């Protein structure tokens, strides 16, 4: 293997120590404890596991978290009222509604109801707009984690060709925007893209976020590239990414593993966003 592994678990642990220290300082100097409300509707096993991870990570760094596990047939209006309550609760600095929501609840109505000042997911249109207009706002957690990992390689993003495979609102589009903000030349590929391999082979930085197991094969990767795998696919009970890891690691310069790559960074960025929110609004 020639690639260096970008160890998300290790990087996340180091960042969480730093966050913990800042949370301690905030408590000691201002008597302020960052608070995070997490709302989970229904009992999708993957969502339950993500929410447990968020709860545990919050506790580890001293963030006060409130997790509400709500029934899958919950009326949309009840969820919206709960959001209203957290919006006006001074002990809560971040609100996260776990997605996906059951079909009878409008994701957009829910996201729009969260106060933009507590929207630690960065999904509210105000925060989306701030990201696209170079303003200061919440940056979605997975894209923020990806950027941290790219920085860790020491590769200067400016002027590089970054190719993002996937155009989701949660990952593909915001990560493309973040890379553009750092002066990369950015190409976004998606299901209608012609000659995907021809484009990915040009990538100095390649982000795979489509949810197709092992889509990115070694012949699609430029030698020495930074390869970030956002895929979380379950194949025969095993977790595999969107990148065909072993063969691609022979070609790439840097690569993130699955699991243990982007995943641990996502939760870390949620903690960081919650801390930032408390610092800004908690006076
Ligand atoms: N479901 C999958 N990823 C996410 C995320 O980043 N935030 C929320 N709220 N739900 C998700």
SS (H, E, C) 206-240: EEECCCCCCCECHHHCCCCCEEEECCCEEECCEEE
99 Cβ below 6 A of ligand 1: yes
When pLDDT is cut at 50, 70 and 90, the band that residue 283 belongs to is: low
For residue range 207-260, list pLDDT tens digits in order.
Answer: 999 999 999 999 999 999 999 999 999 999 999 999 999 999 999 999 999 999
For residue range 55-104, list pLDDT tens digits in order.
Answer: 999 999 999 999 999 999 999 999 999 999 999 999 999 999 999 999 99
Q: Which residues contact 18 (CB under 8 A, 6 or more apart)?
A: none
| Ligand 1 mean position, distance from CA 123 (Å) | 10
pLDDT of 27 over the 90 cut: yes
Q: Are 278 and 58 in contact (CB under 8 A)?
A: no
pLDDT of 277 over the 90 cut: yes
Q: Please give the pLDDT value at position 193.
A: 98
Q: 137 exposed, middle or buried (CB, 10 Å; 0-12, 13-18, 19+)?
A: middle
244 Cβ below 6 A of ligand 1: no
For residue range 176-218, list pLDDT tens digits in order.
Answer: 999 999 999 999 999 999 999 999 999 999 999 999 999 999 9
| Ligand 1 mean position, distance from CA 159 (Å) | 31
Q: Which fold has domain 31-117?
A: Rossmann fold (3.40.50)
178 Cβ below 6 A of ligand 1: no
| Ligand 1 mean position, distance from CA 72 (Å) | 17
Q: Are 95 and 120 in contact (CB under 8 A)?
A: yes
Q: Please give the pLDDT value at position 180.
A: 98
Taking CA atoms only, the protein residue closest to ligand 1 atom 4 is 99
Which is it for strands 254-255 and 226-229: parallel, antiparallel or unpaired? parallel
CATH of domain 141-263: 3.40.50.720
Whether 141-263 and 31-117 are alike in CATH topology: the answer is: yes
272 Cβ below 6 A of ligand 1: no
- 163's tokens: 């190719």
Q: Please give the pLDDT value at position 72.
A: 98
R_g (Cα) of the chain, nearest Å: 19
Q: Please give the pLDDT value at position 282.
A: 52
65 Cβ below 6 A of ligand 1: no
| Ligand 1 mean position, distance from CA 251 (Å) | 31
Which residue ranges make up each domain of the chain? 31-117, 141-263
Q: What percent of the chain has pLDDT over 90?
A: 98
Which alpha helices (H) appear in 115-182, and where do they start and end? 125-132, 141-152, 172-181
Q: Please give the pLDDT value at position 281.
A: 81
Q: Please give the pLDDT value at position 135.
A: 92
Phi, psi of 38 (to 5 degrees): -120, 125
Annotated catalytic residues are 54, 98, 121
Q: Please give the pLDDT value at position 265.
A: 98
Taking CA atoms only, the protein residue closest to ligand 1 atom 11 is 99
165 Cβ below 6 A of ligand 1: no
């Amino acid at each position: 293997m020639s690639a260096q592994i970008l160890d998300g678990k290790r990087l996340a642990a180091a960042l969480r120590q730093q966050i913990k220290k800042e949370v301690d300082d905030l408590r000691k100097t201002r008597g302020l404890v960052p608070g995070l409300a997490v709302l989970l509707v229904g009992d999708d096993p993957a969502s339950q596991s993500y929410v447990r991870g968020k709860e545990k990570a919050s506790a580890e760094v001293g963030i006060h978290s409130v997790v509400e596990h709500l029934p899958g047939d919950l009326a949309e209006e009840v969820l919206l009222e709960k959001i209203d309550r957290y919006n006006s609760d001074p002990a809560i600095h971040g609100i996260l509604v776990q997605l996906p929501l059951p079909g009878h609840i409008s994701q957009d109505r829910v996201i729009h109801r969260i106060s933009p000042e507590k929207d630690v997911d960065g999904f509210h249109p105000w925060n989306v707009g701030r990201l696209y207009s170079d303003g200061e706002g919440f940056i979605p957690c997975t894209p923020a984690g990806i950027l941290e990992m790219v920085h860790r390689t020491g590769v200067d993003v400016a002027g590089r060709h970054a190719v993002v495979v996937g155009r989701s609102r949660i990952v593909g589009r915001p990560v493309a925007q973040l890379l553009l903000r750092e002066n990369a030349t950015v190409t976004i590929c998606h299901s209608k893209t012609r000659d995907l391999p021809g484009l990915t082979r040009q990538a100095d930085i390649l982000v795979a976020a489509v949810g197709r197991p092992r889509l990115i094969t070694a012949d699609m990767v430029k030698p020495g590239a930074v390869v970030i795998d956002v895929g979380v696919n379950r194949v025969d009970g095993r977790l595999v990414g969107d990148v065909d890891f072993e063969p691609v690691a022979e070609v790439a310069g840097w690569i993130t593993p699955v699991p243990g790559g982007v995943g641990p960074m996502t939760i870390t960025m949620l903690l960081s966003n919650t801390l930032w929110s408390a610092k800004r609004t908690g006076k």
